[in-house]
Amino acid sequence: MRLPALACCLVATGLIVTGCSLTEVSGGQEIQVTAGERSDGMFFDPAEITVAPGARVTFVIKNEGSVDHEFESYREGEAGIDEIIIPPGATRRVSWTAPSEAATFPVYCDLPGHRAAGMETALKVVPDTEER
Amino acid sequence: MSSSFIITLREGLEAGLIVAIILAYLKASGQRPHFRTVLISAVAAVAVSLSVGAAIFAIAGEFAGRSAEAFEGTAMLIAVGVLSWMVVWMKRQAAGIKKTLETDVAQAIGVGSAFALALIPFTAILREGLETAVFLFAATRTATPLESTIGASAGLLGAIALTWGIYSGGYRVNLRVFFNVTGVLLVVLAAGLLVNGLKELHEAGVISNLGPHAWDTYNTLPDNSQLGKFLSTILGYDSSPYLGLVIAHVAYLVLALTFFAFGRAPSLRPAAAASHQPGTEAVPEPEGS
């Protein structure tokens, strides 16, 4: 194979590999989370998520409700999960790496009134948790 | 990072050209002793701009939660307004800035007032500095502090190098092309800022309804992937945008680019005329504000 052709192949392969990694949200074990509304308010299910220190996980959040919801924990001292809006019926993925020490963070929907209606889950980093 | 780079490169070059125009005029008219006044005044304007920028960031730090989102959203919309004014409407007036600066400097020297002379570069550079402060604050809301710092520093260094190269005569830049290209880029960045600002105000509850989601391209390009985040910062990309945001984005782009394209022609004549003033050929004239 001539040098220019080889270079083109390498560049094309690089672009494909890089392009995939640039548009993917993945890593570690997937944790399924459901968001929605019910008669007594709004919810994330499960209401508590436990991960091991340093674990890389991907939350897969499905909005089964009829209105928009958010999934976030980005204020000072929180988990550092940027907000993402989940339209009704849609699924969104969020990758996150747990800190190396034990901690508990609130993850919530920050749309007006939603957190007060119960839309919050506790994200716990607990040593001796089975590595995900 | 990219938006911070473009902002400081363009604004820094504009501020640098203002100093260069004044220095070139003083040099050509045998007024070199006034160099020091101009340079001290320029440094003072930069210092005041930095202070104002620091104050904006400090004030923003006092807010939390929904009030922080409202503050950031408002700051973004102000930045869009400032930038639109700067790029589009100020273009016509800025075309004569070289002649105006030289006339003002000649008058200040004529009455022998060092303060009046110092005030000319101070006010001109302060305007550029304040624009940069507001726009950088808005741009950093969607990028990490490290990315913004690297981008802004690189842009500023580039502006200083370009200004020095142009002033010393050793480096020729087609400023018309430079300001046209960066002008269009800034309009595109401003459109992204408009979308992000409206989103912040919506999340803060200031805007109650932006309509239904227009489409959903999350499975093709997630907005929280690396490429999605980059495009979100630069262009305001959203995989499932509200219809209101789409309309605002398109309307702004069409209006701003139309004004930018068709508002330019009349301004070129005085610019061309001014560039032929005796003793002023060394420094080309900026087209933007």
Encode pLDDT of B201-228 as tens digits: 998 889 988 999 999 999 999 988 988 8
pLDDT at B90 over 70: no
A128 min Cα distance to partner chain B (Å): 30
Q: What is the model's pLDDT at position B266? A: 41
Q: How far apart are CA A55 and CA A50, in angstroms?
A: 10
Range from B68-72, B117-121, B252-256, B267-271 carrying the lowest mean pLDDT: B267-271
Residues from chain B that touch A24, judged by Cβ atoms under 8 A, are 222, 225
Mean local confidence (pLDDT), A94-115? 93
Residue A32 in any domain: the answer is yes
B266 or B226, greater pLDDT? B226
Is B225 part of the contact surface with chain A (CB cutoff 8 Å)?
yes
Strands of the sheet containing A69-73, edge to edge, are: A48-51, A120-125, A103-108, A69-73, A81-86
Helix (H) or strand (E) holding A7: helix A3-23
Whole-number Å distance between alpha carbons of B57 and B61: 6
The residue assigned the tokens 């139309």 is: B258
Reported ipTM: the value is 0.79
Share of chain B above pLDDT 90, in %: 19
What is the rounded CA–CA span in Å between residue B204 and residue B81? 20
- In percent, how much of chain A has pLDDT > 70? 81
pLDDT in the model for residue B204: 85
DSSP structure class, residue A101:
S
Confidence band of B176 (pLDDT split at 50, 70, 90): confident
At A59, which CATH number? 2.60.40.420
Cβ-nearest to B222 among A23, A75, A82: A23
Residue A17 lies in a domain: no
**Between chains, do B221 and A23 touch, taking CB under 8 Å as contact?**
yes
The stretch B24-43 carries a mean pLDDT of: 88
- What pLDDT shows up at residue A48? 95
Inside any domain, residue A114: yes
> What integer best gives the mean pLDDT of chain B?
81
Predicted pLDDT of residue B162: 87
Chain B positions touching A93 (Cβ under 8 A) are 222, 224
Rounded average pLDDT over B30-58 = 90
Res B5: pLDDT: 85
Is A130 within a domain?
no
Q: Which helix (H) or strand (E) holds A86?
A: strand A81-86
Q: Give the pLDDT band (50/70/90) at residue B170.
A: low
Residue B276 pLDDT class (50, 70, 90 cuts): very low
More confident residue, B187 or B168: B187
Q: Which residue has the higher pLDDT, B139 or B226?
A: B226
Instruction: Give the helix/strand (H/E) hosting A105.
Output: strand A103-108
| Three-class DSSP category at A127 | coil
Confidence of residue B45 (pLDDT cuts 50, 70, 90): very high
B287 vs A44, higher pLDDT: A44
Domain housing A68: 26-125
| The pLDDT of residue B145 is above 90 | no
- A55 found inside a domain: yes
What span, in angstroms and rounded, lies between the C-alpha atoms of A78 and B64? 13
Residue A18 inside a domain? The answer is no
Q: What is the pTM of this model?
A: 0.73
User: Is the separation of the CB atoms in B177 and B49 below 8 Å?
Assistant: no
In this prediction, residue A1 carries a pLDDT of 53
Question: Which residues 41-100 in chain A show a CB within 8 A of chain B?
Answer: 70, 75-76, 82-85, 87, 90, 92-94
More confident residue, B27 or A33: A33
* pLDDT value, residue B177: 76
Counting the structural domains of chain A, the total is: 1
Predicted local confidence at residue B271, as pLDDT: 40
